[in-house]
Each structure stands twice: as structure tokens, then as C-alpha cells.
């Protein structure tokens, strides 16, 4: 029998965007973006997440052509674009304040990018109508922006960014001005639209819950550098350092010292003398100072009938907050004045402030951070 050897098929989409050694400085001394190397895949929803001043918006502005990198290259579909003006890049942009022209109708606002590209007449009308239908505003073409709600204005801005069928759409804090309920609704709408059209989106936000909800991958920025680039679940469960652990979700970060190792687990002594067990990680050594990450929802009030392979610690309940379906406990334990624990409300019966409590969490739910 003849065997035919076939080359394995690479299912990873090709890169649409590449940053290669990009740096940006405004004063020639300090870099707000430093040695950035990042790829964005075709059809991907990638979020740049970080606090104010972390470099995420500057990175987006360089990709859009509104800023030039001091050093390095930006490639769009394989060709360098760092010296091309924004209108030559075939990129749609949605700003935080929507940037709609108040004297124009909705349809005229959406048609504006087409006019800039010399698309007019019936061809433009067809594209504008399709863009309005795409964002469910087909009957709103003759209205002015002031006659629309915040969510409707955001949809108009999105339709304008999509009307000329760009290869890439950039979004800079587009939901920041909306109330919580509308913001959450628009997160789902934008994600569904991106998936249905198969377009590439690069999204900037400082809201970590927004990033976790919408993204295929998240680049966490801090001090002009990417601290970690990963999918939402891995970013949450396996942060690479203390900054990412503290920035993504609620975290308990316990400083400790590794006493030794046993069966693939590190034995860590907390500041109050309590002993914790956590899966060993590469680079960890006996005597090393480390941080142990424990997510609040991974802890439970200790049940004597619970699994044996878990950590058990004692603490003093400081405060109990009722939040409907769950309780948020503030507990003094493991050398921390406030260890956060989140449990289902039904499991909190009988708990009171100033009482001692035993907490349990699986060894696999404790993560050692060495950076």
C-alpha cells in the first residue's frame, strides 16, 4: 500500500497587522510605547487593555495613521503603512465621542467616507442603505444625530466605519459614554456584528470585564509594553505576572516564601505562618519570595466533608456584603487585612461579622507568580 504524506493544514488565520519593534516617544527621552511586537490575525477581535497612560491608545492611533512611530514598522496585509495617511489605509475608525457631524443627517454621516473615496450617486445610496440595515437603523436615515439616543449614535458611528468595507476596524473606548445596561447590550451587538461580517477589529478599553466579554485575544498593556497576550480564559486563569493578576478580575495576592516542594507542588508559607500548597511553576526555587494568586470565587466556607486535596485556612470575618445571588466576604487571613471571598448567598447562612471562619480552596486553584 502506498502512503501519501500530506503537509498538515495550518488552521491559524494569516496576520493582517504586524507591529515590528515599534517605539513611540514625544520628547525623545521617554517611550510611551516601547519595543512593541504584536500580530493581529485576519477576522480576529483583539482588545488592547490597560490603565490610562499604558500605551494602548497611542498604539491604536499609530495603527490608524493619526500618529507616527518613532522607530519600527507597522505592516498592514504585508505592506508597511507607518508613513501612509489615514485615508490611504482602508481602515474604519469608531471614536469614543462618535465624532458625528451634527449638521448632517444619519445617512449623510454614513455617506461621508464614501464621498472621500469618490463614491457617489446610486452606488453610495446602496452602500448607505445596507450599512443602516446592518446596524438595525434602516428607518433613521433622515434624522439628525441629536435626535438619536446614545446607543443609536454609537451604531451610526459603527455603520460609518463599515460602509466602505474596510479590511480593519479600530474602536477607541466606543462604549465609555453609555450607561451600564446599554453598554453591556452593545458589547454583544458589536461582537455579533464582527463575527457575522468576519471583519478584523482592534478594540481599546480600560474595562477588563468588557475585554473578557468581547475578545478573541487580549493584549494587556502597562508602561508601554505588553505584559501578556492571551485568550480571555487563559488570561484570567493563568496570569503571567502580578500586574496582570491584579488588573484582570478581583484577586487575592498573598506574598509568601517557598519552603520546599512535594509531589509537583510548592509549599508556600504565608506572612501569618499558614502553609499553602500550589502547583509548582517553572523557575520557582526553595527560599524564593513569591506571590500566590487565589480568585475570590474559588474559595468556599470549609465543609468537613469536602475533598481532601485542598488548602484550608482560618480567618476573621470583617464584613459581609449581600449582592443578591452571592455574598462578598471581607476576611482577615493569610496576613491580609482583606481577603475577598465570593460565595453563593445560600451558603452564607449563619455567617456573621467578627466571627472566625475556615476557608477551603483546591490546590489547583492557587497559582504561584514569580514576577
327 with 342: CB under 8 angstroms? yes
* Residue percentage of the chain with pLDDT more than 90: 73
Mean pLDDT, rounded, for 181-197? 89
pLDDT of residue 2: 46
CATH number at residue 348: 2.40.50.140
Same domain, 335 and 212: no
> In 208-316, which ranges are continuous DSSP H helix?
208-214, 232-237, 242-247
**How many domains is the chain built from?**
2
pLDDT of residue 9: 57
* Residue where a domain stops, chosen among 240, 265, 286: 240
Q: Which of 41, 86, 37, 79 is nearest to 59 (CA)?
A: 37
343 with 327: CB under 8 angstroms? yes
d(Cα 162, Cα 2) in Å, to the nearest integer?
51
Give the range of the structural domain holding residue 155, as residue numbers without chain letter.
15-240
The packing angle between helices 150-162 and 180-197, to 10°, is 20
In the predicted structure, residue 8 carries a pLDDT above the cut 60: no
Same domain, 42 and 190: yes
Mean pLDDT, rounded, for 203-232? 96
Task: State pLDDT tens for residues 150-187.
Answer: 888 988 999 999 998 898 999 999 888 788 888 888 89
Task: State pLDDT tens for residues 340-371.
Answer: 999 999 888 889 999 999 999 999 999 999 98
Same domain, 285 and 354: yes
Same domain, 277 and 325: yes
In the predicted structure, residue 5 carries a pLDDT above the cut 70: no
Task: State pLDDT tens for residues 48-74.
Answer: 999 999 999 999 999 999 999 999 999
Amino acid at each position: 500500500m502506498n502512503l501519501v504524506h500530506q503537509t498538515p493544514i495550518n488552521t491559524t488565520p494569516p496576520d493582517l497587522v504586524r507591529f515590528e519593534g515599534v517605539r513611540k516617544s514625544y520628547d525623545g527621552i521617554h517611550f510611551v510605547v516601547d519595543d512593541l511586537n504584536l500580530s493581529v490575525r485576519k477576522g480576529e477581535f483583539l482588545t488592547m487593555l490597560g490603565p490610562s497612560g499604558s500605551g494602548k491608545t497611542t498604539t491604536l492611533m499609530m495603527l490608524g495613521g493619526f500618529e507616527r512611530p518613532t522607530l519600527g514598522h507597522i505592516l498592514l496585509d504585508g505592506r508597511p503603512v507607518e508613513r501612509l495617511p489615514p485615508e490611504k489605509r482602508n481602515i474604519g475608525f469608531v471614536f469614543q465621542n462618535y465624532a458625528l457631524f451634527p449638521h448632517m443627517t444619519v445617512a449623510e454621516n454614513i455617506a461621508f467616507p464614501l464621498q472621500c473615496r469618490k463614491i457617489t450617486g446610486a452606488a453610495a445610496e446602496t452602500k448607505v442603505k445596507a450599512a443602516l440595515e446592518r446596524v438595525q437603523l434602516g428607518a433613521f436615515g433622515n434624522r439628525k444625530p441629536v435626535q438619536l439616543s446614545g446607543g443609536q449614535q454609537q451604531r451610526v458611528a459603527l455603520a460609518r466605519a463599515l460602509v466602505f468595507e474596510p479590511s480593519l476596524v479600530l474602536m477607541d473606548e466606543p462604549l465609555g459614554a453609555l450607561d451600564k445596561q446599554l453598554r453591556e447590550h452593545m458589547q454583544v451587538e458589536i461582537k455579533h456584528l464582527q463575527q457575522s461580517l468576519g471583519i478584523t477589529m482592534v478594540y481599546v478599553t480600560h474595562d477588563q470585564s468588557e475585554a473578557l466579554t468581547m475578545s478573541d485575544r487580549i493584549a494587556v498593556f502597562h508602561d508601554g509594553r505588553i505584559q501578556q497576550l492571551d485568550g480571555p480564559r487563559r488570561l484570567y486563569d493563568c496570569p503571567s505576572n502580578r500586574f496582570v493578576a491584579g488588573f484582570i478580575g478581583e484577586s487575592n495576592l498573598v506574598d509568601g516564601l517557598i519552603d520546599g516542594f512535594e509531589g509537583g507542588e510548592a509549599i508556600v508559607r504565608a506572612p501569618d505562618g499558614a502553609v499553602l500548597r500550589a502547583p509548582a511553576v517553572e523557575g520557582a526555587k526553595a527560599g524564593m519570595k513569591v506571590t500566590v494568586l487565589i480568585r475570590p470565587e474559588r474559595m468556599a466556607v470549609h465543609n468537613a466533608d469536602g475533598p481532601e486535596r485542598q488548602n484550608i485556612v482560618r480567618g476573621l470575618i470583617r464584613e459581609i456584603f449581600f449582592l443578591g445571588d452571592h455574598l462578598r466576604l471581607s476576611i482577615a487571613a493569610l496576613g491580609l487585612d482583606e481577603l475577598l471571598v465570593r460565595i453563593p448567598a445560600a451558603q452564607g447562612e449563619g455567617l456573621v461579622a467578627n466571627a472566625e471562619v475556615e476557608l477551603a480552596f483546591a490546590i489547583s486553584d492557587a497559582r504561584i507568580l514569580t514576577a
